Amino acid sequence: MRSMTGPELDRLELASDADQHAASDWEKIAAAVLRKSGRLTDTDPDSLVWEKLSRTTLDGITVAPLGVPSEHAVARGPVTGHAETGWDIRPQLAGPDPKSANQAALADLENGATSLWLTLGEGLGPADLEAVLEGVYVDLAPVVLDAPTGSGGRVAAAEAYVALLRDREVAPAEGTNLGADPLADGLVEIVGLAREAGCLGAVVDATAVHDQGASDAQELGYSLAVGAAYLRALVDSGLSVDEALGLVEFRYAATAEQFPTIAKLRAARQLWARVAQLSSASEDARVQRQHVVTSRPMMSKYDPWVNMLRVTVAAFAAGVGGADAVTVLPFDSALGVPDAFGRRIARNTSSLLIAESHVAKVADPAGGSYAVERLTDDLARAGWAEFGRIEAAGGIVAALADGSLAARISEVVSRRDTEIARRKRPLTGVSEFPNLGEALPARAATPAADAVRRYGAPFEALRDEPAAAPVFLATMGTVAAHTARATFASNLFAAGGIAVDAAGATADVAAVIAAYSGQAVVCLAGTDAAYAEWGSDLVAALRDAGARHIILAGLPSSLGRGEIAVDDSCAVGVDALAFLTRTREHLS
């Protein structure tokens, strides 16, 4: 490598003048690729690549394929940073009983975890805190409480934890949070206990709406509205704005869409700093503490090993986005109670990102990226607009009561469901590349999590009750000729719990009929030329042999001659859920 001396040392460019290119240069090269794939014609202008390659998020935000300097606007809010030590590795403890929870807690803390997120509920109650935390040095490891709302559960948990601190005669570790819900009863009482104990008192949990299907901007707007309600309640109780700000932590979800996640966390800090500023808080008090949890809805029950990839990307995005604490949910969470292996992989995900990938070495590493800065700014604006809608409804309590927030979330859920059903948002192992023969790891059952709406739930429901009979795949021609459509159809059927029996290589109608064994539903898979040549004869022969419902793999236009009378068709972009439901009805 050539060494640089003199004036060259003052240059910040990573490329020489000869290697500098304008946006038009990129447009020309990208357009050439799109013309080869048929997405652009020879008469289309090169500049059309921006439209062709851009995508729109569920919030209506256009994400361009390339970040350019003209879109650069630094949107960085106050950054807490995680310095050299990395972010706080915070596994979740949720039972199923005090002994199991204690064993899991000790194993986590002895093997890389730095704090605990203790969720009470089924199997664990406030009276179990001493048993759950036996052997845990609560003056060294922060504990964040999460108790059920109602019946005084959160207050009882906070009182029990403060009593535990008194009994052990220790001060809580920095980062400990008694977990008051700003929208529930007992907020002022729990915050008072937190001030007495010298720890945080409340959590603004935006994952509550994320788990229901909310978009990123809705998650941001909800968190600001809940945070504003929190500030009003505590200021009315006699605390200063700075005192109230110093007692709260925010919880967000991280998904496998890494850039939107990074931008969301950066936007959240910017927006909360603005709320604090408008509330006349001091500059030092405007920092937002962020606890980020890998998304529950993105997890799949089938092919759960793919969850390891999902949570790794999500944890990376959380770290790059500046999270103070990260909870990586075990890959087997959707199956029931995670086992020791699942918990180990979860905590090691953060440890590897911190210690081996050095993701935490730089504060706000995405800062200055044209694409991320633009996305951050757009998300911040969309989140602020959602905050405004909630406030216009009378605040978060009123918006929840009148159903206006729920209605907007339902609209997003509907759009996402449509994209998933049409496989425009593919779910590996669920809607794409499913394995009907897989043996799922056995896990102890957990109470039904009605609040979590997994993205793949409709497909998983079909897989839960496999079709009683297979589809006959009438493959037309050689393996090379029918493989593309046969593979597409087989994967599509498998996503709905439908097995296939394939004819194999066939040269004519007689060969297909010889392989056919009376299945009620048949799917033709071949080339357009084969359909045109002997498709109508094959359909007639199959009906004579007993086929009641015949499907064509391909678009209806692939039929060539119009006399091929099939009952249904499947191709890229089909509403897979509707198609699979129809097919299963004919199989029953």
Burial of 3 (0-12, 13-18, 19+ CB in 10 A): exposed
Distance of CA 576 to the CA centre of its chain: 21
pLDDT of 76 reads: 56
User: Looking at the domain assignment, is residue 490 inside a domain?
Assistant: yes
The Cα 545–Cα 547 span in angstroms is 6
Q: Which two structure tokens, joined as six digits, stand for 452?
A: 């979590």
Residues 364-406: pLDDT tens digits?
Answer: 899 888 889 999 999 999 999 999 999 999 999 999 999 999 9
Per-residue three-class SS string for 317-358: HHHHCCCCEEECCCCCHHHCCCCHHHHHHHHHHHHHHHHCCC
Are 369 and 489 within one domain?
Answer: no
Asked, for residue 61, whether it belongs to a domain, the answer is no
Enclosing domain of residue 37: 26-56
Q: Are 32 and 97 in the same domain? A: no
204 with 284, same domain? Answer: yes
Given a cut of 90, is residue 99 above it in pLDDT? yes
Predicted confidence at residue 461, as pLDDT, reads 95
Residue 280, pLDDT above cutoff 60: yes
**SS3 for 419?**
helix
Any domain includes 401: no
pTM, entire model? 0.92
**Domain end (from 342, 363, 390):** 390
| Residue 62 pLDDT exceeds 50 | yes
- Residues 94 and 174 grouped into a single domain: yes
Are 41 and 170 part of one and the same domain?
Answer: no
Strand, helix or coil for residue 111: coil
Q: Based on the domain organization, do 33 and 139 belong to the same domain? A: no
Task: State what percent of residues in the chain have pLDDT above 90.
Answer: 83
Dihedral angle computed from the Cα positions of residues 330, 331, 333 and 337, in that order, rounded to the nearest 10 degrees: -70
The two most distant CA atoms of the chain are separated, in Å, by 87
Question: Is 175 in the same domain as 270?
Answer: yes
**Does 386 lie in the same domain as 244?**
yes
Mean pLDDT, rounded, of the chain: 92
Q: Name the band, by pLDDT with cuts 50, 70 and 90, for residue 426.
A: very high
Residue 284, pLDDT above cutoff 90 = yes
Q: Which among 457, 424, 170, 189 has a CA at the least distance from the CA of 299?
A: 457
- pLDDT above 50 for 1: no
pLDDT of residue 18: 74
With tokens 């009979």, the residue in question is 469
Residue 560 in this model has a pLDDT that exceeds 60: no
* Per-residue pLDDT reduced to its tens digit, 206-231: 999 999 999 999 999 999 999 999 99
Write the CATH number for 218.
3.20.20.240
For residue 124, what is the DSSP state?
Answer: B
Helix-helix angle 404-421:576-587, to 10 degrees: 70
Position with higher pLDDT, 126 vs 558: 126
Domain annotation covers residue 254: yes
Q: Which of 201, 221, 199, 202 is nearest to 210 (CA)?
A: 221
Give me the sign of the Cα torsion angle 350, 303, 116, 186.
positive
- What would the mean pLDDT of 485-514 be, rounded to a whole number? 96
- Is 1 a member of any domain? no
Counting residues of the chain whose pLDDT is more than 70, the rounded percentage is: 92
Residue 91 has a pLDDT of 98
C-alpha to C-alpha distance for 475 and 116, rounded to whole angstroms: 55
**In a domain? residue 63:** no
User: pLDDT at position 74, please?
Assistant: 55
Q: Is 21 exposed, middle or buried (0-12, 13-18, 19+ CB in 10 A)?
A: exposed
Count of domains for the chain: 3
Q: Is residue 219 part of a domain?
A: yes
235/368 same-domain check: yes
582, 479: one domain: yes
Q: Answer yes or no: is pLDDT of 558 > 90.
A: no
Q: Of 56, 71, 102, which residue sits at a domain end?
A: 56
> Average pLDDT of 6-33?
75
pLDDT(24) > 60 = yes
CATH number at residue 526: 3.40.50.280
Domain boundary among 56, 76, 102: 56
Q: What is the mean pLDDT of residues 83-92?
A: 86
Tell whether 30 and 161 lie within a shared domain: no
Q: What share of the chain is helix, strand, coil (3-state, %, to 5)?
A: 50, 10, 40
Over residues 273-288, mean pLDDT? 96
pLDDT per residue as tens digits for the range 512-537: 999 999 999 999 999 999 998 999 99
Average pLDDT, integer, range 152-175: 95
Instruction: Taking the CA atoms of 237, 238, 239 and 241 in sequence, report the sign of the dihedral they define.
Output: positive
Same-domain check for residues 267 and 363: yes
Domain assignment present for residue 426? The answer is no
